[in-house]
A and B are shown apart, each in its own frame.
Chain A
């Protein structure tokens, strides 16, 4: 039994005969993909939420189509479809502009696709959060003569964050897990790294358990971080008993 234990620890050691380093690198790229996609989603979501609330009917119709479609289609199909459609469309565009075709970097493609998906969910989260702000606060800002940008920065944003944060935390959790789907289109993050490690050593069970624990660690650390952020954005608010 002792030798078996030793063997497993060797397998997971961070230095080359062991695969720990590969797994950790995979975990880092999982976090990097998720963070970039989350940031893009945040931008798209803010734009989408403001667009939906802007009252422009054409814009709202298009945004409704975007959010409904993205949220209705299975993630795997979206990722695979957008991956092909995205690279294909880009190269067609380049061909029209008479530029040579490019090979899209897996990281960029993964981030773009996941960010596009996140944007749809974030649009809804942020829209709800903005709607939950008491109208009087926005009216007061208008009465003080604040322009739209200043109003967004000083009133809307600080007021919507406490409302939006739980939803955003959920979306972060789901993007860290959705990033595993990128393994299916062949970009090496934690899930694919684990499969490679398993395939070359035949110790699938050990490696998948190890990577499940890595994902779990990411989730639990994120939980703590989001709790801290929530404490920060809710400062000064009365606490419920």
Chain B
């Protein structure tokens, strides 16, 4: 075991860690917003929206994330330049990057899993609380915003923490589309120094630390609401 390489690679490790955290935060935040829409579409949507949301979730949960990522990066990525004018557009420098495709596919994937969790949580909100809201004369929109959704999110909190950790563990896939995330840095160190285990070990420790942070944050979030047992 030798860790002397850290002294020359630490800036790279830091940028890798930053990329990993960015991917995680982007996919969780945008994915969560999308998931709220998908969950409501399944719980209270019409027949068509229900079917569409259902198929979305089935597709993204039924296929490997790696395939979704490659479908976007190689597939859509190879079709994009055919769109007229896109090369001259403002967004081209972003659309060219592997990071963009990784962020989009992780977001879509996370949304599918999170939508299932939220769907269950929305259905688990006690009926009486919703009826009480209606009895107070809340409009459906107000009822959703003030009671139904917040209650559901609170119910789902422990599961959401688990899903975020799962998402964190999926981020190393981004290295297959040239994103310089933490795992990609470990890979580069291996190629440069021929050390196999040490870089993987350091990277793993970072993932474990991040998992611990997520667990801690969610524990304090859960503790915000006193529960009577």
A interface residues (Cβ-Cβ under 8 A, vs B): 72-77, 80-81, 84-85, 88, 173, 176-178, 180-181, 183-184, 191, 194-195, 198, 202, 204-209, 211-212, 215-216, 219-220
Contacts and interface: CB of A to CB of B under 8 A. Distances in A.
* Overall SS of chain B's interface: helix
A77 B211 CA distance: 15
A205 B75 contact: yes
Interface string B107-126: 00000000000000000000
Given A73-B204, A75-B169, A216 B70 contact: no
B27 interface: no
Contacts of A219: 61-63
Given A180-B64, A180-B66, A191-B70, A216 B204 contact: no
A73 B207 contact: yes
Looking at A204, A207, A211, which has the most chain B CB atoms within 10 Å of its CB?
Answer: A204
A74 B207 contact: yes
A185 to B, nearest CB: 12
Given A77-B200, A85-B197, A205-B79, A215 B172 contact: no
Nearest to B186: A77
10 closest Cβ contacts across the A-B interface? A205-B75, A208-B71, A204-B74, A219-B62, A180-B64, A74-B169, A177-B64, A216-B62, A76-B172, A212-B63
Interface string B161-177: 00000001111110010
A81 B71 CA distance: 26
Contacts of A211: 67
Given A74-B207, A77-B172, A80-B200, A194 B67 contact: yes
Interface in B76-102: 76-79
B106 interface: no
B68 interface: yes
Contacts of A204: 70-71, 74-75, 77-78
